[in-house]
Structure 1
Amino acid sequence: MPSARHHLPVAGGVIALLLTAACGTDAEGDETPAGDGDYPLTVEHAMGETEIPEVPETVVALDTTYLDSAIALEAEVIGRTDYADSGDIRDYLGEDGQTYAGDAEVVGTLEAPDLAAIAALEPDLILSAKVRHEDVYDQLDAIAPTVFSETTGATWKENHLLAGEALGRSDLAREQVDDYEERAAALGEEIAAANGGDMPTMTLARFAGEPTVRLYAPESYPGIIQADVGLGIPEEAPDAAEGEIAVNLSQEEILDLDADHIMVSTWDDGAGESEEKAQDFTGNPLWSQLEGEQHEVNDEVWVSSVSLPGANSVLDEIADLFDVQA
């Protein structure tokens, strides 16, 4: 059994499932979260400061991180960029995905949002990241108040809080992040208890159509979730280079993936190249020498989601894999 580089401490906590956000009532009689900020509201973000004159009712989200956050914060998403791998709202978003973004218009791709289509929607707020759309920030901000985080990925919790601030729902956003962290910690306690008090080690290997396999690092989105649960990293696992979220391993380095539990995800690139590379690796004789228990996991959830709803879905899958309560 691979030894652990560290067993991350798991804080005590009770799984919090109820959200107690302040609510208002719309014209149809449905309860919707009311803004918890004073308007006009000035939001500081990666591109400077943006004044939002009143509680935003409609949102355009140009990155899936913010699409997911807007849905979780119960905001009406009227525009979004297309997914790279499919057109439909992702399954892990459940009924909320359809309720708050099911009718959203697709306004181009992540790489090339359609500014004219966004302007035609007349949104109250636009959300994205500097790393994605810095070049068109001024045009977007001329359409509607626009708020950018610096990046996505490892800052997913902070980004959710930023979306909450911009939407006037900071209290709800903070509560949702706290609930997730308490849930992750409680799940870790369940796993440790089922494992005789010790936390197993885990790695995540991803096939993404490249000649290598990605071994995700602690600084990555799935690595942060792993740490929140308290699952250790094998001592022998190679470290990612500074600023990188994964180590790219060749077939000769397959054994570096080993852990008590090896999560394996494959990106749906639409052309079958990722699946082909996965078959190349798993057909290598070294793959059969891996000692850890292997689990196929949902790539959309574990890697592509990069959001709070996605993280909660990862916790669901971890609970199933370890046969403990979520």
Structure 2
Amino acid sequence: MRGTSTRSIARRSLISLMACGLVFAGGCSGSSETDPGAPAGTGSSISVEHAMGVTTIDSPPERVVALDPSYADAALLLGVPLVGYVQYRADPGNPFPEYLGDIDDKVADSVNVGTTAEPNLEQILELEPDLIISAKVRHEALYDQLTKIAPTVFSESTGPTWKQNIVLLGEALGRKDRAEELITSYEERAAAVGDQIRARKPEVTYSLVRFAGEDTARLYSSNSFIGEIMTDMGIPRPAGAPDTTDSIFTPLSMEQILKADAGIVMVSTYTPPGGEGDSSRDQQASFEANPLWQRLSGDVLQVDDEPFVLSVSIQGAHASITELAEHFGVDPRKDLIPE
């Protein structure tokens, strides 16, 4: 953990930035935690190469602020105190998703520091973290300000690189071996459950259609989170199905509904509180009322949006595998989920 004097310097530095009124503009100068030319740490210090350079952490962190929900999941997975977290959408009544299970004791002192789009730097400062974890795609513009608070480590993205991101956080925590073990355990379980499903239905294929209240639905690609889970289970997309490596989904209009057909058609609906969720439900109802929807030949399975799409975490992946095992009537192999 960083020493008190270091935190005091960081606190004064950021307060000076705030006094300049330039926290978000980045106009005041200050020292940076990241120096690509810095030597590797010695003793208990940890040097981490990441999307923004190299960050040296004095000792294994014990107070983590996660500025993406996937990293909050990863911090809890790796057993480190999560002092601060964000949500995709502000929903104080449901700070953590159900797929994380009973985590009340682990998050009793965790503080919501805003949304992914608008983290509150003053709240983060007050928490005195010794590590801030996020992604360049999320918070590149805030990186310099965050480094004034605590050592800050960024992955490039938060989606297709989810496994690498868990390892990155593990490295920053001094728990890289544990992170790799947990990924291996997940992959072994995915393969074991997938083998059973394919033994029961050798020609099984999948698609996932998501309704998010937009002009078109989303047909998720093999490059998405669910796409990687299904790849790890050995279950492919149908031959000739629309796919892309440039995005996590392709747009799907009503006229294209049959392009979503597969052995199992998973249906996911984004339903945050308020009008945004209502729009998603209305869109789903319109698609399902279309005669083309009735012509889908595969099993249509409504799945929980949080683990299957939003989670991008090992816990979410395990929850998704469990739900698929139940649908196909095979052993979910929960014995392969580490304690």
Q: Determine if the TM-score, normalized by the shorter chain, exceeds 0.5.
A: yes
- Counterpart among 253, 257, 264 of residue 256 in structure 2: 253
Equivalent position SS for 1:153: coil
The residue type paired with residue 94 of structure 1 is G
2:227 equivalent in structure 1: 223
* CA-to-aligned-CA distance 1:143-163 (integer Å, 9 cap, x gap): 011110001100000000001
- Residues of 2 paired with 1:48 and 1:107: CA distance? 25
1:235 equivalent in structure 2: 239
2:80 equivalent in structure 1: 75
Equivalent position SS for 2:161: helix
Question: Shift of the alpha carbon at 1:85?
Answer: 6.4
- Counterpart among 66, 87, 91 of residue 86 in structure 1: 91
- Residues of 2 paired with 1:239 and 1:122: CA distance? 44
Equivalent position SS for 2:113: strand
- Residues of 1 paired with 2:135 and 2:262: CA distance? 34
1:24 equivalent in structure 2: none
- Residues of 2 paired with 1:199 and 1:41: CA distance? 48
Equivalent position SS for 2:83: strand
- Counterpart among 212, 218, 239 of residue 216 in structure 2: 212
- Residues of 2 paired with 1:127 and 1:161: CA distance? 12
1:161 equivalent in structure 2: 167
1:34 equivalent in structure 2: none
Question: Shift of the alpha carbon at 1:108?
Answer: 1.5
- Residues of 2 paired with 1:126 and 1:277: CA distance? 38
Equivalent position SS for 2:174: coil
1:43 equivalent in structure 2: 48
Question: Shift of the alpha carbon at 1:101?
Answer: 2.5
* Larger of the two Rg values belongs to structure: 2
| RCO comparison, higher one (Cα < 8 Å, 6+) | 1
Equivalent runs, 1:187-202 vs 2, <5 Å:
187-195=193-201, 198-202=202-206
Percent identity, please. Answer: 47
- Residues of 2 paired with 1:269 and 1:82: CA distance? 11
* Alignment partner of 1:203 is 2:210: no
Question: Shift of the alpha carbon at 1:239?
Answer: 2.4
Q: TM-score, normalised by structure 2?
A: 0.82
Question: Shift of the alpha carbon at 1:99?
Answer: 3.1
- Counterpart among 100, 106, 116 of residue 100 in structure 1: 106
**Hey, which of these two has a bigger chunk of strand by percent?**
1
Change in 2 beyond 3 A, CA 1:286/1:311 = same
Contact kept? 1:85, 1:268, Cα under 8 Å:
no
Question: Shift of the alpha carbon at 1:105?
Answer: 0.7
* Alignment partner of 1:303 is 2:309: yes
1:55 equivalent in structure 2: 60
- Residues of 2 paired with 1:38 and 1:203: CA distance? 49
Deviates more, 1:278-287 or 1:184-193: 184-193
* Alignment partner of 1:286 is 2:292: yes
* CA-to-aligned-CA distance 1:279-326 (integer Å, 9 cap, x gap): 010000110011111000000110000111111111111111111111
Question: Shift of the alpha carbon at 1:86?
Answer: 3.2
* CA-to-aligned-CA distance 1:30-64 (integer Å, 9 cap, x gap): xxxxxxx9521110000101110011111100001
Segments ≥4 residues shifted beyond 4 Å: none
- Unpaired segments of 5 or more residues in structure 1? 1-36
Contact kept? 2:243, 2:250, Cα under 8 Å:
yes
Equivalent runs, 1:132-151 vs 2, <5 Å:
132-151=138-157
Question: Shift of the alpha carbon at 1:232?
Answer: 1.6
Question: Shift of the alpha carbon at 1:244?
Answer: 1.3
RMSD of equivalent CA atoms = 1.3
* CA-to-aligned-CA distance 1:177-214 (integer Å, 9 cap, x gap): 0000001011111112222xx14011000001112111
Contact kept? 2:90, 2:115, Cα under 8 Å:
no
- Residues of 2 paired with 1:136 and 1:263: CA distance? 37
Equivalent position SS for 2:210: strand
Equivalent position SS for 2:291: coil
1:314 equivalent in structure 2: 320
Question: Shift of the alpha carbon at 1:245?
Answer: 1.3
- Residues of 2 paired with 1:99 and 1:256: CA distance? 45
1:25 equivalent in structure 2: none
- Residues of 2 paired with 1:38 and 1:287: CA distance? 61
Equivalent position SS for 2:242: coil
Q: TM-score, normalised by structure 1?
A: 0.85
Equivalent position SS for 1:294: strand
